[in-house]
Structure 1
Amino acid sequence: MENQNSNSKLKSIIIILSVLLVGSLIYIFKLTSDAKTLQNVVTVTKSEKEDVLKDLSELKTSYDAAIAENTSISDELIAERDKVEKLIQELKVSKGDNASLRKYRDQYKALEQRMKNLMAEVEVLKSKNEKLTTDLDSTKVILEDSKNYNQVLVGQNEELAKTVEKGQKLSITNLKTAAYKVRSSGKQIETDKASRTDMLQIKFTIAENKIAKSGDKTYYVQVIDAKNNVLGDKATISFGETSLTYSFTSTVKYENKTVEVSEQLPGKDFAKGTYFVNVFDKNELVSKSSFTLR
């Protein structure tokens, strides 16, 4: 009887121990399973955090590139870029739980949408700037062509003006000088001896010019003897910075037709040697010749 009771107690103990063992095994399994689940959650959460940080970094890089374009909305881009940088710093120090990750993910999506809107605006501005640049280049080409054309016209007009001015100048030809002995009767006898000379006669021709201005024309005649003395009036006139000493002036009424001019220069004690005769239109030498008295 006592053996039966002992066996019964032993069986009961074994059963209780078996139940406790099974319970312990179940508890240990549950703890192990919960630990694995927690580890998976932590791993997934860490991966999501890294993904969000990566997305934010790429968003910041896009903003940096857009800011480098230096458009009229650069200030707005900089403000949005600063928001992204701030969000990155906050996410780095956050716990990284599901709730905070959802918050950061939502903020990222909002910033991403804002980025897309601003990028669309940047593209519109770039397109407008490209068109303005093209139009400006076209305008520069047109202005440059116009400038070059005007320069050509100015050059042509200057050349034409010079040609007209040159064409308007009167030509002096057939400049000749002769020496004469004048008798008391007034008769003039040509001579080539200095001792017999009482008067020099200077003749020249003003050629016909249809485009020259008509009216009175004054010429300054200069006669220089063999001793380098200016004969006649020995008057001096200035033309700007230059001056001219002349023997006499000859004023002619010119009407665009050929005019024969003859002037007389009386004198005495003419020296032997070579004489030079110069005709000036103001300070411009237009004709010259020489002769000799023996």
Structure 2
Amino acid sequence: MEDQQNNSNSSLKIIIGILAILLIGSLFYIYKISSDAKQVQTELKSTMTEKESVMKDLQELKATYDAAIAENTSMSEELIIERDKVVNLMNDIDKSKGDVSKFRSQFQKLENNMKVLMAENESLKKQNTTLTVQRDSTVVVLGESKKYNEVLVGQNEELSKTVEKGSKLSVLNMQTAAYKIKSSGKQIATDKAGRADVLKISFTIAENQIAKSGDKEYYVQVIDSKNNVLGDKQTVSFDEKSLTYSFISKVKYENKTVQVSEDLPGKDFAKGTYFVNVFDKSELVSKTSFTLK
């Protein structure tokens, strides 16, 4: 009887031991699952935080492009292309459910592109403002020139004995500017010697009803800051005078106001002040100067 009781106690102890081991194992398993869940939750939270951060930066980038595109500058097409790249990256990140840190380098590249384009866009806006002022000034000068020519024609009708003097053509409103030519063929005004690909020279031949009509030739001379004549560098003689010119501008004159515009291509333009002279044969009829930085 006592042996049976001892056997029962031993069996009970074994069962209790087994249950204790199972309980400890269950507790460890529960702890492991809880820890793994917290780690996954932490990683998900970190991923969402990074995703929100990148998305916020991209939204700001898109807003910058939207504002620049709304200004409708000559760079709008390039800005739209870059803005669309930002939108596509936002869509990719939005669809991503994993690590988004790999998109950070793409964002950095887009941000760097934005800084370059914004700087160029701002420069173009300033240049456009300058050109607008010059255009308005040109309109004023042409208006004054028209009034002057009307008076001149009236005087010539009354002073028929001075036809030769009155028949000389007036070269007015001489303008010069440097331009960079992009791969698309678009010309962008610049005052930087290192960016210039072509010099644009323009002037107006005033209306003169008593002048002789027909083909006219003007010798244009462009001298850089190192006293070099640019362009053709050809020399022509008139009686005892000689002239080295950059190019000849041929104009068909029909007694009406004529706008003349010529391009002088080149490379490695020197910094400094340039002088531009226009000759009717050996007679200097107009001159101006400009500076490249």
TM-score, structure 1 as length reference? 0.46
Bigger-Rg structure (1/2): 1
TM-score between both structures, scaled by the size of structure 2? 0.46
